[in-house]
Structures are given as C-alpha cells and as structure tokens.
Amino acid sequence: QFSYLYDDQISHFRAGGRVPLGLKNKRLRVLVTGGAGFVGSHLVDRLIARGDSVIVVDNFFTGRKENLVQHFTSHRLELIRHDVVEPILLEVDQIYHLACPASPVHYKYNPTNVMGTLNMLGLAKRVGARFLLTSTSEVYGDPLEHPQTETYWGNVNPIGVRSCYDEGKRTAETLTMDYHRGLNLEVRIARIFNTYGPRMCTDDGRVVSNFVAQALRKEPLTVYGDGKQTRSFQYVSDLVEGLMRLMEGEHVGPFNLGNPGEFTMLELAKVVQDTIDPNAKIEFRPNTEDDPHKRKPDISRAKELLGWEPTVSLRDGLPRMVSDFRQRIFGDEKETVG
Ligand code: NAD
Ligand code: UDP
Ligand code: UDP
C-alpha cells in the first residue's frame, strides 16, 4: 500500500501524518491533471527535473503527447488517457488539478470544472493527498475593482457565453474550500492571470497565440473591439514557479498568480510587431460578448506569503515563444502540404 513512498514518508504516514512533511527535498508521486497541455507540460518538466514521479491524466482535448515527448524514455512519467469527468483510482501525494478546456473556443464544451474537480477532490480525500486547484482571474468577471485583490468577489454574468468557464471555476473554488473545511483536506487555490509561452495551442483563439501566429503567417493581427481593453501577461515559467511554491507552502490561498504589467491589446500588438514583423497590419474585428474591460493582478499576497513575483517581462518572454511557434506552424504546414 505504501510502495510509492520512501522510508521516512512511510513512517510519517504510519504515525498518522497525512501529507509527508518537508516536501521540498523528498521524491513524491505527483498527479498532474491536464499535464499534456500548455501549463501542465511545463510543470511536469520541473517536477521530473526535481526527481518526482509524475502521473499525467489527460484526455488530449487540447493537450498533445508531443508536449511530453522529452520524458517518454523516463521511468518517472506515466501518461494516462482519461477524462476527469469520470472517477479514477490512483495513489499519489500531491494533485495539481489543471484539466480544463481553458480557451474561449474550447471551454463551452463540457462540465470538467465541476465534475472533474469533484472527482479529483474525492481522490485527494481518499488518499490524503494535497490538492491544488488552478483557478483563474476570470472569477473576477468584468471587474469593478482595479487591480484585483483576492478579497474581491467579482462581477460575473451567470448566464453569459463565458459563464460555464467563470462560474465553473467559481464552483470549483467552492468545492475545494468545502472539502478543506468539511473534511480537513489540504488544499491550495491559484487564480491564474493570462499566461503565454512555448507549447501554447497555436489555434485556441487566445490573444497572444493569435497575434504571434498571425504575425508569423504574414496575416493581419486581429484586434477585437477598439483594442483599449487591458490584460496582464505572465510568462509560463513564472507561473510554474508560483504554482510549485504554493503547493509546497503552508497557505491555502486563493493567490493571484500573474504579472502586474498591464497592456492594452493595441500595445500588445505593437510588442508583437516589434518582436516579429514591424510591417504586420492590424485589423479591427467586433469584440466578443461580456469581454472584461481590464484586468491586472494585485500580487501583494503572493509576494508576502510565497516570496514569489514574476521575473520575465512581456518584451523578454515573447521572443522565447516565437521560435517554438515558428517551428510548429511551418512544420505542420509543410506536413499538410506534403
Ligand atoms: P490547456 O488547454 O493547454 O491545458 C488543459 C489540459 O487539460 C489539456 O491538456 C487538455 O487536454 C486537458 N483536459 C481538458 N479537459 C479534460 C478532461 N475532461 N479530462 C482530462 N483532461 C482534460 O490550457 P492551459 O493554459 O495549460 O491551462 C491549464 C489550467 O490553467 C486550466 O485549468 C486553466 O483554466 C488554467 N488557467 C490558464 C490560464 C492561461 O492563461 N493559460 C489562465 C487562467 C487559468
Ligand atoms: N473519486 C474518484 N477517485 C477516488 C475517490 C473518489 O474519482 O479515488 C470520485 C468519486 O467517484 C466521487 C467523487 O470523487 O464521484 C467525490 O468523492 P467523495 O468520496 O468525496 O464523495 P462521495 O462519493 O462520498 O459522494
Ligand atoms: N483578443 C483580440 N484579438 C484576438 C483574440 C483576443 O483582441 O485575436 C482580445 C479579447 O477580446 C480580449 C483579450 O484579447 O479582450 C484577451 O483575450 P483572451 O481570449 O486571450 O483572454 P481572456 O479574455 O480570457 O482574458
């Protein structure tokens, strides 16, 4: 029953401890749901580099095996094709729950946020694992407070086109806190702000991936609305560092994890032009319904309690995803043509 644990962890468990103490320097068995996706695969890289054994559960809805191919020869990775909406039995020490159709073009498709989170909480309860939920800045909706602190309750339309994502994550937070309070489960909640980097889907409709792919293909950058709405863009390695500090730390959260550098979509387009193609054109399109006007994290809490803050600016981070996008876009197109 304890086969996956190391001796000191076994004695800790036998003495009635739930999650092994001193996690930092121990080898753990970690479940990453959604680990074949953009953020998840970068997290898996770090966990495996640290020496953990990682189980990835993913239904490949938006994730890709290619994101994890570098670990296929490693005995530390186990990859399971499974939809978290269905129950699953596994034995693990920690659960990073990322599985979720996370982009506007995908997220209306299924009830992952509620059913998937419930199943992973049930699993965490059964094995006494520590559970980390990746929630989102979308829980603040179209915020009436700026920048957003974790104490702000949000301004969300319950029946809009984005609601299944926003309200799904809000429900996931509620479930997580209920399991924490009612069953004493160890939980952590991260509210992630817009994140970009290598391995993002090239076609999931998010603004950074759209602009980068468009600039590379010599297509106009599609700015929705007047382009004056703002977002704050975080490079993926900063996020992964924040998620791991949160998991290992002693605080439940929620914690905003994001880069406070705030840009309008027109300013973002300018950074993309400067980075890829100064001649890239801009084309205005109608905006989507319920689009939040501005978004910027207040990260004081994460700074103080996790000792965390982002280190990569948009101008430094963007070039790091361009070569990955170039290779995937032109590689894929060559394959299609051939
Ligand atoms: P992603 O789409 O690249 O990754 C999500 C992964 O979950 C994919 O591999 C997908 O195949 C998998 N998945 C989806 N539904 C599943 C299901 N029912 N069962 C099993 N696997 C399933 O997206 P991402 O950007 O890496 O997002 C990861 C997490 O971070 C998500 O929970 C998302 O809501 C959250 N988040 C991301 C951002 C961002 O800007 N990237 C912002 C806020 C929150
Ligand atoms: N669950 C799971 N794996 C486990 C334990 C539970 O997928 O190892 C699922 C279980 O099928 C249920 C959900 O998690 O749908 C919640 O489980 P819990 O035990 O908290 O609730 P209950 O089954 O008592 O309603
Ligand atoms: N957006 C845009 N052009 C695009 C895609 C998105 O101007 O090609 C805008 C979108 O209207 C929103 C912002 O960029 O105001 C961020 O959109 P995204 O879907 O990336 O993230 P989210 O809305 O979830 O923050």
For the cut 60, the answer to whether the pLDDT of residue 252 exceeds it is yes
Percentage of the chain modeled with pLDDT above 90: 78
Distance CA 282, CA 273 (A): 10
pLDDT at 52 over 90: yes
246-281 as b/e: b if 16+ CB within 10 A: bbebeeebbbbbbbbebbbbeebbbbbbebbeeebe
pTM confidence score: 0.91
| Residue 17 pLDDT grade (very low, low, confident, very high; cuts 50, 70, 90) | very low
The verdict on the CB of residue 94 being under 6 Å from ligand 2 is no
Nearest 5°: the CA angle 101, 179, 110 is 20
Of the two residues 221 and 112, the one the predictor is more confident about is: 221
Question: What atom in ligand 3 is closest to the CA of residue 136?
Answer: 24
182 lines ligand 2 (CB under 6 A): no
- With cut-offs at 50, 70 and 90, classify the pLDDT of residue 192: very high
The confidence band for 4, taking pLDDT boundaries of 50, 70 and 90, is: very low
Buried-state track 162-191, b at ≥16 Cβ within 10 A, e below 16: bbbbbbbbbebbebbbebbeeeebbbbbbb
Nearest CA residue ID for atom 22, ligand 2: 122
256 lines ligand 1 (CB under 6 A): no
Q: Which candidate, 155, 132, 137, 139, places its Cα nearest to that of 297?
A: 137
Please tell me what DSSP assigns to residue 149: P
Ligand 1 contact via 101 beta carbon (within 6 Å) = yes
- How do strand 230-232 and strand 262-264 relate by DSSP bridges? antiparallel
Q: Is the CB of 194 under 6 A from ligand 3?
A: yes
CA 46 to each of CA 56, 177, 239: distance values in angstroms, whole numbers, following the listed order: 13, 27, 12
Q: Which of 165, 179, 196, 235 is catalytic?
A: 165
Helix (H) or strand (E) holding 317: helix 314-337
Closest atom of ligand 1 relative to the 64 alpha carbon: 9
Question: Sign of dihedral through CA atoms 162, 165, 167, 169?
Answer: negative
Average per-residue pLDDT in the chain?
Answer: 89
Residue 49: pLDDT over 50: yes
Q: Which residue has the higher pLDDT, 218 or 104?
A: 218
Q: Is 60's C-beta closer than 6 angstroms to any atom of ligand 1?
A: yes
Residue 276 has pLDDT above 80, yes or no: yes
Active site includes 165? Answer: yes
What distance in angstroms lies between residue 132's CA and the mean position of ligand 1's atoms? 14
**Cα gap 157→148, rounded to integer Å:** 17
Ligand 1 pocket test, pick from 100, 203, 296, 324 with the greatest ligand atom count within 8 Å of Cβ, gives 100
The answer for residues whose C-beta is within 8 angstroms of residue 202's C-beta and 6 or more apart is: 209, 213, 325, 328, 329, 332
Band of residue 14 on the pLDDT scale cut at 50, 70, 90: very low
Residue 206 beta carbon below 6 angstroms from any ligand 3 atom: yes
Ligand that lies nearest to the alpha carbon of residue 88, given by its number in the listed order: 2
Query: Looking at the predicted structure, is the pLDDT value of residue 24 above 90?
Result: no
Q: What percent of the chain has pLDDT over 70?
A: 88
> pLDDT tens digit string along 282-335?
999 999 888 889 999 999 999 999 999 999 999 999 999 999 999 999 885 554
* Closest C-alpha among 57, 54, 59 to residue 74: 54
C-alpha 17 to ligand 3 mean position (Å): 45
Q: Give 111's pLDDT tier (boundaries 50, 70, 90).
A: confident
Q: Are strands 77-81 and 94-97 parallel, antiparallel or unpaired?
A: unpaired
pLDDT for the residue 288: 85
Predicted ipTM > 0.90:
yes
Lowest-pLDDT range of 102-111, 116-125, 175-184, 232-241: 102-111
Phi, psi (degrees; rounded to nearest 5) at 75: -75, -5
What ligand is nearest to the CA atom of residue 107? 1
Query: Which SS3 state, helix, strand or coil, does residue 255 take?
Result: strand
- 221: tokens are 């950058």
